Structure 1
Amino acid sequence: MAESKPTLKPELQRPPGYRDPTAPPSAAPKPPPRRRPLPPSFRQPGKPLPRRHRSRRSCCCRLCCWVSLAALLAAALVAVAAGLAYLWFQPRLPSFRLQSLNATRLRVADQSDGTFLDAATTVGILFVNPNRKIVIEYCDGEARVTVADEDGDVDVGVAAVAGFEQGRRNRTVARFEAAAKAVAVDEVAGGRIREGYKSKEVRLGVSLRTRMGLKVGGIRTGKVPIRVGCGPVSLKQGLNGAVLPLCRFSLFRWINLH
């Protein structure tokens, strides 16, 4: 009887990427060693060492901090200097008052072509400098005199006022004359002005525009425009020797000080 041969099973092909689960895990590859910098003795002569770059943002922040600190310090020094100067000089504002007021002529004439006013006035304004260490300088100015009426003010003359220097603790009276001729007025207003002049109840106002500066020792400040407004007050007040009211005082036409 013939002997039978055992049959061999064909070996299965392993797919790509197959990994035997029974095989021991392979060790992860080690990273290549980091190259160390050479010591100074092995470097090429004349080659500078590598530098670390600082952030531009940090430099800008430091610069802004220094600038802010310097600005605060400068402001503090200015404030301290201003405070010391104020305590030393003790500056005070000047004051103004109508010293005298008179209308030597105030004539209203009715003509065929309208009503006209002729006027001549004399005015004295008292300038008072209350400062003990500050001199006040006034430039040449211009004064305007008006008659106050229910229907509006009527200009009765413009006069030039000479500038002057006012010393410490000084009182100076600036006098001037203003005149106007053939000023057209309303017939009703002209009648009121005529009757008011007879009774000395007509009211006059004065406006003075000039420039003012200060002098402390040998130092002069710049001159600023000022406006002094007085009245209106009646002729009776100006002629009987009564104390006339203080005048209004403003800087730059909008900063009222009195």
Structure 2
Amino acid sequence: MADVQKGKPTLQKPPGYKDPTVPVQRYPRAPPRKLVLPPSFHQKKKRRSFRRICCCSFCILMLILTIIFLISFAVFYLWFDPKAPVFHLQSLSFRHFNVSVKTDGTYLNVATLTRVEVRNPNEKLTYYYGGSEVEMSAGKDKDIDFGSTNLAGFTQAKNNMTSLKIETKNNQLVEDGVGPRLMSRYKNKDMVVNVEVRTTVGVEWNGWKIRPLGVNVFCGGVTLKTLNREMPRCTINLLKW
């Protein structure tokens, strides 16, 4: 019986079999591999630093220029003490004012002579004016056109007063009811008149000139009676040209 056991074939161990009696050898774990990023993900430190330097330099330059401008403006204002020109509606008269009724309608034939006083109150600065466009009208809504004209430019010295002579005329068709009302207001001197001047004004000092600015001068909104007693002051607004 023992012989039979000795002759019994030995069983084969299955693949991957590990003998539990054999001690397991532990090998050191390899360090994790570092993830390699493509070149497009790399930060461009040099380019970023260059941009930062340029941005800071630009900001510093703008700050310096702003400070220089503010200091120059303060010095200019304190030294020259600039004042805006002053306009007054000096007078307004009519060469003729006729309302005629014809078969084809009612016509207003009018010719005006207006004077606008311009003063330069500065003691060190000279004003120079470009060509001017002048429009004359009547009514609070400026709905009655008295004509328009152009004036040549001129230079106004310091502490100087200039009187501008403005002549306009117009012959227009008006509504039948408007003509008699205008004639009545003209005779009673309660007609509201308006003068609007569009021009450019620049500053000059010892040959140095500052670029002229477009201005809109409005005189009027008053009756003929008021003009006989006083010279109303005109308003000045900068034009958005």
Where does residue 79 of structure 2 map in the other structure?
88
Specify every segment of 5 or more residues in structure 2 that has no aligned partner in the other structure, as ranges: 32-43
Aligned residue runs from structure 1 range 60-209, under 5 A: 60-148=51-139, 153-180=143-170, 182-209=171-198
Q: Secondary structure at the residue paired with 1:187?
A: coil
The Cα shift of 1:27 comes to: 6.9
TM-score (norm 1): 0.74
SS at the partner of 1:223? Answer: strand
Change (3 A) 1:22 1:118: same
C-alpha displacement at 1:25, in angstroms?
5.4
Give the alignment's TM-score, normalised by structure 2: 0.78
Change (3 A) 1:78 1:11: farther
Q: Secondary structure at the match of 1:196?
A: helix
Deviation at 1:171, TM superposition (A): 1.8
- In structure 2, what residue type is equivalent to 1:162? A
Does the residue aligned with 2:177 lie in a helix, a strand or coil? helix
Letter in 1 for 2:196: S
Deviations 1:100-126 (A, max 9, x none): 111231111111221111112111111
Identity level (%): 29
Partners of 2:14 and 2:58 in 1: CA distance:
75
Cα 1:21–1:166 change in 2 (3 A) is farther
CA contact (8 A) 1:106 1:120 kept: yes
Deviation of the 1:85 alpha carbon:
2.0
Is this contact kept in 1: 2:140–2:221, CA < 8 A? no
The answer for the alignment partner of 2:37 in structure 1 is none
- Equivalences, count: 226
State whether structure 2 residue 238 is matched by structure 1 residue 247. Answer: no
Deviation at residue 203 of structure 1 after TM alignment: 2.4
Q: Which residue of 1 aligns with 2:202?
A: 213
Q: Distance in 2 between matches of 1:218 and 1:17?
A: 109
Aligned residue type for 1:161: L
Letter in 2 for 1:167: A
Indicate the residue corresponding to 1:48 in structure 2: none
| CA distance in 2 between partners of 1:192 and 1:96 (Å) | 30
Which residue type is aligned with residue 159 of structure 1? T
| Alpha-carbon distance in 1 for matches of 2:234, 2:117 | 10
Q: Could you say if the C-alpha distance between residues 92 and 17 of structure 1 is closer, same or farther in structure 2, counting changes exceeding 3 Å?
A: farther
List gaps (5 residues or longer) in structure 1. Answer: 32-52
Moved more, 11-20 or 154-163: 11-20
Q: Is the 8 A contact 1:149 1:189 kept in 2?
A: no
